[in-house]
Amino acid sequence: MSSSAVIFLAFLSGTLVVGAAAYLLAIPIRLIAGSVSSGPRRLRRIPTVFDESPARSLTEKLDQGFNRLVLESGTGLVPVTGFLLTVICASLAGGAMLIYSNDVMIACGSAMLGLLIPLFVLSVRRGRRLNAIREELPHVLDTMGRATRAGQSIEQAIELLGSESGGILGEEFQLCSRQLAMGRSFERVMKSLASRVRLVDIRIFCTTLMVQKQSGGRLSDTLERMSGVVRDRLNAQRQMRASTGAGRASTMVIAAISPIAYAFVFMFHRTHLEVMYTDQFGRILLLVALFLEIIGLCWVAWLLRTESS
């Protein structure tokens, strides 16, 4: 048996083992959480990253950030399964390129790229989920305002939103209604909602409900004004995206040209880059270019995030 066949079988067996582990670990967690409709729901609730206090060290921040990314993406995955899926993608990409090119450097670069692909997909899913929540929020505020104006309490209005409202916020309010029915305090339920949905509008909404619960007042008028403010913000963001769409697209293309060109030359015409590795001045230029590219990408990402917020 040739060495390529041995390497292929090793990567294939490792990927199958990791995939089986991801599947088997996801089943009992979903059964305990009660997300499988075929079995009875359990009263036991698994603590998640939303129940943890903010991390202090860098490793804990990275761990919590990855867990939040997986849970906030709306894919239904648990963090352990998401981590194993990233390992599967990295193993497949690295193993395929190692068999194709028989070069360890290319295999390592491909493995890193395969590791980043699931993170990019989860980030896109989380962004779409948060945008969907922003679009649903004005309708939810109007519905809750009408319910409280009709004489219903805040708990009854939350139960109404969970049963009548569809979409992502409907599921979140269903969870809030179940937590209130189980005897959890109203303040802790609202803080849990603000922790699960990390949007400024949701935080203001939860704070408003907690303050009204303690001091009273005309909640329906406050919710109607908040609904108008949220709609105005959404319209302003749409106008901003429409007016700056061409500029943002061109910026992203310019920022991506250098990494893509370097990866292409590195994989297929590496002899052109040998001077960058052998000569001292070439290594200095390569490090400076890498440093400036990272700064540019971070700057562009910050500008796009500031514009969309």
Per residue in 263-301, pLDDT tens? 788 777 777 777 777 777 877 887 888 788 778 777 776
CA dihedral sign of residues 167, 169, 175, 178: negative
**Residue environment code for 218-232, b if the CB has 16+ CB neighbours within 10 A, otherwise e:** ebbebbbebbeebee
189 and 151 fall within a common domain: yes
pLDDT tens profile 109-148: 778 888 888 888 898 898 889 889 888 889 988 888 888 8
Note whether residue 71 is domain-resident: no
Please indicate, yes or no, whether residues 254 and 215 belong to a single structural domain of this protein.
Answer: no
Please give the Cα distance from 223 to 154 (Å, whole number): 12
d(CA 85, CA 248): 31
pLDDT at res. 218: 82
CATH code assigned at 189: 1.20.81
Q: Is 42 helix (H, G, I), strand (E, B) or coil?
A: coil
Q: How far apart are the first and last CA of the chain?
A: 57
pTM for the complete prediction? 0.71
Structural domain of residue 269, as residue ranges? 247-309
In a domain? residue 5: no
Give 26 or 295, the one with higher predicted confidence: 295
Q: Cα separation of 256 and 60, whole Å? A: 30
18 within a domain of the structure (yes/no) = no
- Domain boundary, last residue among 219, 242, 265: 242
Answer whether residue 23 is part of any domain: no
Residue 125 lies in a domain: no
Indicate whether 232 belongs to any domain: yes
Domain boundary residue, one of 205, 223, 242: 242
Exposure string over 186-196, b if 16+ CB within 10 A, otherwise e: beebbbbbbbb
Instruction: Note whether 253 and 304 are same-domain residues.
Output: yes
Domain co-membership, 216 together with 293: no
How far apart CA 244 and CA 251 sit, in angstroms, is 11
Domain tally, the chain: 2
